[in-house]
Amino acid sequence: MTKEEIIQPENLVYKKPELLNDTPMHYCPGCSHGVVHKLVAEVIAEMGMQEKTIAISPVGCAVFAYKYIDVDWQEAAHGRAPALASAIKRLWPDRLVFTYQGDGDLACIGTGETIHALNRGENITIIFINNAIYGMTGGQMAPTTLLGMKTATCPYGREPALHGYPLKVTEIAATLQGTCYVTRQSVQSVAAILKAKKAIRKAFEYSMQGKGSNLVEIVSTCNTNWRMSPVKANQWMEENMFPFYPLGDLKDNG
């Protein structure tokens, strides 16, 4: 069988999601953000919600998410995405409303907005990209940075006496009455990616069914600021991030 015989429209099994447009994404090579963008784009299309989605982009590396996924977007001030999403969802209850936020955005400057939106049970989904660092600004320590992990602002490693302990927002979210579905996923392998996609779908569906707030944390890599190759960053994440940020559902009240 020749290559030409295989490469025929009827044999197509995978292509770039339709909602992910051709604009080249500015993310570093191998960044988890791109994988999650693909999943979000696929889920929205599979739910037939392209014309009924309003997404909120953060401040952080994903600030330009609106350039890549062809739905309606609003850019929020740093950390304020859940507040904006709350307002939008209340005004447009028939819309699929979600935020896409990094750990600096969500677990530092926006902790208040995040916890209160989740606690109010706003019918939104928060996609939380936890790469344990401020990626965009050059790799400073985040509240989520692991103990011992070196960053630009803790070059000798994070020390509890000096920097405090890493914050597990997802565990906190699971204790809040307003949350319906709280899960922690990752995208380091084919199996993990397929699971993460299912989780995003579930969260989006619950938010459309008015069941409360949904939080999907994606434990992610920032290979550039971790200063390793993309392949090594995935390994490092498995060895160092997963023990502290274990994967799986923390709450499913759907």
Partner 1 sequence: MAKMRGATVVDTERCKGCGLCIVACPFKVLALSTKNVNQKGYNYAEAVAPDACTGCTSCAIVCPDGCITVYRKKED
Ligand X SMILES: Cc1ncc(C[n+]2csc(CCOP(=O)(O)OP(=O)(O)O)c2C)c(N)n1
How crowded is the C-beta side of 253, counted as CA atoms within 13 Å? Answer: 18
Q: How many CB atoms lie within 10 A of CB 227?
A: 12
* Distant-in-sequence, close-in-space partners of 8: CB < 8 Å, separation ≥ 6: none
| Positions in 178-197 near partner 1 (CB under 8 A) | 187, 189-190, 193-194
Per rule CB under 8 A, is residue 8 in the interface with partner 1?
yes
Q: Which of 176, 221, 180, 227 is nearest to 199 (CA)?
A: 180
Q: Which of 54, 62, 40 is nearest to 199 (CA)?
A: 40
Interacting residues with Mg ion between 123 and 182 (CB under 5 A)? 131, 135
Residues binding partner 1: number (CB under 8 A)? 35
- Which amino acid does the sequence have at 160? P
* Residue 210: other Cβ atoms inside 10 A: 11
Least separation in angstroms between residue 9's CB and Mg ion is: 40
Q: Is 136 in the site for ligand X (CB under 6 A)?
A: yes
Binding-site size, ligand X (CB under 6 A) = 19
Query: Tokens at residue 220, please?
Result: 């992610």
136 binds, among Mg ion, ligand X, partner 1, none (CB under 5 to 8 A by kind): ligand X
Selected range binding partner 1 among 29-37, 90-98, 115-123, 140-148, rule: CB under 8 A: 29-37
Q: What is the DSSP letter of 106?
A: I
Under the binding rule (CB under 6 A), the answer on residue 134 touching ligand X is yes
Cα 172 from chain centroid (whole Å): 17
Decide which of ligand SF4, ligand X, partner 1, none touches 15; Cβ closer than 5 to 8 Å per partner kind.
partner 1
39, 41, 65, 142: which one binds ligand X (CB under 6 A):
142
Q: Which residues bind ligand SF4 (CB under 6 A)?
A: 27-28, 31, 33, 61, 131, 135-136, 222-225
Q: Which residues bind ligand X (CB under 6 A)?
A: 59-62, 78, 102-105, 109, 129, 131, 133-137, 142, 222
